[in-house]
Structure 1
Amino acid sequence: MTRVAVLGAGGYAGGEVLRLLLAHPAVEVVQATSEQHAGKRLDFPHPHLRGLATPRFSPHDALEPCDVLLSCMPSGELIRRWPQVSARAGRIIDLSADFRLESTEHARWYPRAPRPLDMPEFVYGLPEWTGARLKDARFVAVPGCMAHAALLALLPLVRAGLVRPEVVVDAKTGSSGGGATPDRSSHHPERASALRCYRAVGHRHTGEIEGATERLAGVRPVVHFSATAVPSVRGVLATVHAFAARKLEDASEPLRALASTYREHPFVHVLRANASASPFPEPAPLAGTNHCDLAVEVDAERGRIVVNAALDNLVKGAAGTAVHALNLMLGRPETEGLGFRGLHPL
């Protein structure tokens, strides 16, 4: 059994990491930390963990040695605690934004959490695209949830040379993406019926999508990214508008690019209009799962290719991908511990 600790496990992502790991056949959760909940049972903030034989929360400074550490700390905290944390674990998976960008770009998008230049670079944890590197990785950075959906939609088109290097990403997200600590924008009376574009320009996922596309598909696009809050708790729906690099001889080319890319990947599904009762990706049937649904439509006359990508922001967009990466790092079956298929209706 691999001994795993979860740092900063009191929030929503931490609760999902614990849910998945406590049922994982090859993992033993030896410690979970939280300053707010230190000394309390894990099911105090996470009622879905009731009935499990689990440790109690420890304070962060009481972190003990383990084989693998999963950090669910807010962005900037793992950087601040790096000397202590890195000495406790041989391998680290980070769910925050601290290591998603290369060092030279990090300061531009995260000026409040600068990263010292002598800190290690992390492998970008997008398993469908970096799986081979994850097998030997010591340090892994899990993508941001909205960036994750956008990249799964965009990367096959860029790699196939089908689109120009300028794209528009319109991402819709539920309230859990804001974390477990409420503020004015996430307080239920303010958020329950909200439908607002809360970051039309300048969102930090812009740099993440641009940088990851360059590293993984060889082209750096100009990304126009906007984020919209919708009245749901879980889920991301990213609509990627790309523009054909040439006249499309066959409108099915983008579909073939997506289908061939993900044919052997168990967690990404390309929906087809004639093969599914619901060919439009939506987050609700994916709640609690590590799956992403994609669908593409083509406006051949105007040269526009639109890909919609849906996923659960807390699982495929965070905890599930962390466990997927963990499986690859350990040489385990990549679907191990991730078999939940979701509920319908929800």
Structure 2
Amino acid sequence: MTRVAVLGASGYTGGEVLRLLLAHPGVEVVQATSDQFAGKRLDFPHPNLRGMSALRFVPHDALEPCELLVSCMPQGGLLQRWARVRELAGRIIDLSADFRLDPADHERWYKKHPRPADVPRFVYALPEWTAQQLPEARYVAVPGCMAHASLLGILPLVRAGLVKPELVVDAKTGSSGGGATPDRASHHPERASALRCYRAVGHRHTGEIENIVERLTQTRPSVHFSATAVPSVRGILATVHAFASRPIDENEPLRALATAYREKPFVRLIRPNTSASPFPEPGPLQGTNYCDLAVDVDTERGRIVVNVAIDNLVKGAAGTAVHAMNLMLGRPETEGLGFRGLHPI
């Protein structure tokens, strides 16, 4: 059993990490930190964990040595504690944006949280594309949720040379993506029925998508990314618009996606005429580590549209952290992640 601690475990992603790890056969959760809930049981902010553990939260500064640390701190939280935390854990998985990007891109998109030059490079945990790097990794960064969904739709097309290096992405997201601490825009009376574009340009996931596509394909695209709030709690639906680099037949993008994900256990390609719901939707994916995607092609105009659905808190955060952990520890990659979702929901 690997001894695991969770830093900043009282928020939504922290709760999902705890839910998955407490039921995982290969790990023991030995600590969970929260300054706000120090001394209280894990089920105080996470009622779905009742009866799963006798652990109580401890303050962040009471973190003790462990074999693997999962950090669910908000942006800048782990950076502030880096000098101390790195000495306490043999391996670290971080769910914030502190360590995702190459230095130049990080400096451009995260000026409020500069990264010291002596911080080591983290492996980017996109298991369908970076699995071979994870077994030897000591430090791992989990993708941003909307960037994650977008990349799963984009990368096969770019790798296959099917598209021009200019991409348009509209990502629709539920309210839990804003975290557990409310502000005016996320307060329930303001957000419950919201259907609005809240970041038309300049979203930080723009830089993440560009950086990671370049890192994995040696092609730097120009990405036009917008984020839209929808009236749901969980889920992301990313719609990727790409433009063919040459005349193509309607089956080439489908073949590119099928080839990329044929042996990937958590990505499911919805093919034409194989489902009563021919387009991906986040609802049936709630609580799961699965990604559903489908592709449509307008051959006359050379436009390729990929729709990608995930649960932002699981595949977009905690589930990918556990998937990466499994690969780091040499365990079966699907271990602890078998929940198939519910329908109807």
Name which of structure 1's ranges 212-221 and 172-181 shifts more when overlaid on structure 2.
212-221
Q: Which residue of 1 aligns with 2:190?
A: 190
Q: Name the SS for the 1:223 alignment partner.
A: strand
Question: Does the CA-based 8 Å contact 1:290-1:312 persist in structure 2?
Answer: yes
Secondary structure at the residue paired with 1:114?
coil
Secondary structure of the residue aligned to 2:292 is: strand
Question: 1:41-52 residue pairs with structure 2 within 5 A?
Answer: 41-52=41-52
Equivalents in 2 of 1:340, 1:222: separation in Å? 36
2:166 paired residue number: 166
Q: 8 Å contact 2:22–2:53 — kept in the other structure?
A: no
In structure 2, distance between residues paired with 1:277 and 1:2 = 42
Task: Quote how far apart the aligned CAs of 1:104 are.
Answer: 2.0
Residue of structure 1 equivalent to 2:113: 113
Instruction: Normalising by structure 1, report the TM-score.
Output: 0.99
Query: Is contact 1:159-1:218 (8 Å) kept?
Result: no
| SS of 2:238 mapped into structure 1 | strand
* Secondary structure in structure 2 of the residue aligned to 1:143: coil
- Is the Cα contact below 8 Å between 2:42 and 2:53 reproduced in 1? no
Percent identity over paired residues: 78
RMSD (Å) for aligned C-alpha atoms: 0.5
Q: Which residue in the other structure is 2:293 paired with?
A: 294
In the alignment, structure 2 segments of 5+ residues that lack a partner are none
Partner deviation per Cα, 1:176-235 (whole Å, 9 max, x = no partner): 000000110110000000011000000000000000000112211000000000000000
Contact 2:163 2:245 in 1 (8 A): yes
Opposite residue 103 of structure 1, the aligned amino acid is: P
**Does residue 40 of structure 1 match 2:35?**
no
- Paired with 2:278 and 2:105, the residues of 1 have a C-alpha distance of 38
Report the Cα distance in structure 2 between the residues aligned to 1:103 and 1:217, rounded to whole angstroms.
Answer: 18
Q: Please give the alpha-carbon distance, in whole angstroms, between the structure 2 residues aligned to 1:105 and 1:279.
A: 37
Q: What amino acid does structure 1 have at the position aligned with 2:278?
A: P
2:254 matches 1:255:
yes
Deviations 1:18-40 (A, max 9, x none): 00000000000000000110000
Q: Which letter does structure 2 place at the counterpart of 1:294? A: L
Contact persistence 1:103–1:121 (CA under 8 A): no
Letter in 2 for 1:257: A
What is the CA distance between 1:266 and its match in structure 2?
A: 0.4
Q: How does 1:320-331 map to 2 (within 5 A)?
A: 320-331=319-330
Residue of structure 1 in register with 2:149 after alignment: 149
Contact 1:271-1:293 at 8 Å conserved across structures: yes
The 4+ residue runs of structure 1 with deviation greater than 6 A are none
Name the residue aligned to 2:180.
Answer: 180
Name the CA distance, whole Å, in 2 between partners of 1:54 and 1:81.
Answer: 27
CA contact under 8 A between 1:200 and 1:225: conserved in structure 2? yes
TM-score by length of 2: 0.99
Tell me what 2:332 maps to.
333
